[in-house]
Amino acid sequence: MSLKRSKRHRSTKSTLRLPDLDHSKNSVLQSLGSAASKRTYGYAIEDFISWYCSEPRLAFGRTVVLRYRYELESRRLAPATINLRLAAVRRLAYEASDNGLLNPDLAAGIRRVKGAKRLGMKLGNWLTVDQGRRLLAVPSSGSTKDKRDHAILSLLLGCGLRRAELTGLKMSDFQQRDEHWAIVNLFGKGGHIRTVPVPGWAMEVLDEWLRAAQIDEGVIFRRVSRTGSVWGQKISEKLVWWVVRERAKLAGIESWLRTIFGEPVLVFAMQREASWSRSSFSWGIDQSRQRSATWGAVSVSSLP
């Protein structure tokens, strides 16, 4: 037994081969909670593996990861992307080390590789109150699909929902509290739970869709066929994007489309527009203020 253990200890390597890397990659992906993370990390690790295997076989350590960082920089990727790729490679190293496939000293060296500097912060592309109104005012043909799309826009704008939150909404998530409607116990990004008031005007638009689609239980937003029949179990997040895009085109604000739509900060920006000033609206670079501001969003109920 002791012989076996010492053999295993001696077998920790500095140069990993494809099966070792694949095994470690699977361990990393299994440990991630979100499907989006699995997809993104999977892509990042695949990219690193194909680069690593195309290079002359060097020890999988700090130097190799630094070289990979230079490679990413030479591709002119954004710092956010480079840091994401490096985070995935660090995780790959921890897993390889934990599985006895990589020398722990080499893994520790990889951990010390710094990420790319993020210089400043983009100001984003916020929807103004006027643009929000124009989006909601897009003329409707009265079709079932139009009613659904209008309801989607109304909940996104009125409640500051993310796309993923919207697609999973069920009838049972809506409850009446003190004569007001609210989406209760909404599971948001990172598994956080919140309760969101629903403005009266948004509730009316939603009711129109529910009546047209004859939905009285289960998931709220479903697919609509060309002939107007409602089918399927739910819609995808991609569809929400397409709905927003089509409506933005019709509203004549397509140029706004590179957007942070779906993040609560968008609604906050709309709420604050009336008192906009450069000095008072500095939370884009002030982290603590940004955090405290993030959920003041729901009083946009006066939007239409």
Binders in 1-30 for DNA, by CB under 7 A: none
Applying CB under 7 A, does 66 fall inside the site for DNA?
no
Q: How far apart are CA 244 and CA 254, in angstroms?
A: 10
Could you tell me the two tokens for 4? 């076996």
**122 scored as a contact of DNA (CB under 7 A):** yes
Q: Residue 138's CB: how many other CB atoms inside 10 A?
A: 17
Nearer to DNA, 57 or 222 (CB): 222
> Is residue 272 at the binding interface for DNA, with CB under 7 A as the rule?
no
264 binds DNA (CB under 7 A): yes
Q: In angstroms, how far apart are the furthest CA atoms of the chain?
A: 78
Per CB under 7 A, the list member of 25, 62, 69, 90 interacting with DNA is 90
In order of 25, 29, 297, the CA distances from 148 in angstroms are 41, 36, 23
List alpha helices for the chain, DSSP H.
2-10, 18-31, 35-54, 62-74, 79-98, 104-111, 129-136, 144-159, 163-167, 200-213, 237-251, 264-272, 287-293
Q: Which of residues 31-60 bind DNA (CB under 7 A)?
A: 31-37, 39-41, 43, 47
Map the footprint of DNA across residues 224-253, applying CB under 7 A. 224-227, 229, 231-232, 234-239, 241-242, 244
How many other CB atoms are found less than 10 A from the CB of residue 250? 15
What letter does residue 32 receive in the DSSP assignment?
-
User: Which of the ranges 6-14, 51-59, 172-180, 187-195 carries the binding residues for DNA, by CB under 7 A?
Assistant: 187-195
Question: How far from 52 is each of 10, 99, 101, 143, CA to CA, in Å?
Answer: 23, 20, 16, 54
The least CB distance from residue 292 to DNA, in Å, is: 9
Q: Does 73 bind DNA (CB under 7 A)?
A: no
Q: How far is the CB of 40 from DNA (least distance, A)?
A: 4
CB of 207 to DNA, least distance (A): 19
170 scored as a contact of DNA (CB under 7 A): no
Stretch that binds DNA, among 49-57, 99-107, 185-193, 205-213 (CB under 7 A): 185-193
Q: How remote is the C-alpha of 66 from its chain's centroid?
A: 28
- Which residues in 124-153 contact DNA (CB under 7 A)? 124, 145, 148
User: CA-CA distance, 242 to 43, in Å (whole number)?
Assistant: 24
Residue 228 Cβ, how far from DNA at the closest point, in Å?
Answer: 9
Site for DNA in 99-118 (CB under 7 A): 111, 114-115, 117-118
By CB under 7 A, residue 265 contacts DNA:
yes
In this structure, what token pair is assigned to residue 43? 């892509």
Say whether residue 257 binds DNA (CB under 7 A): yes
Candidate segments 50-58, 98-106, 183-191, 271-279, binder of DNA by CB under 7 A? 183-191
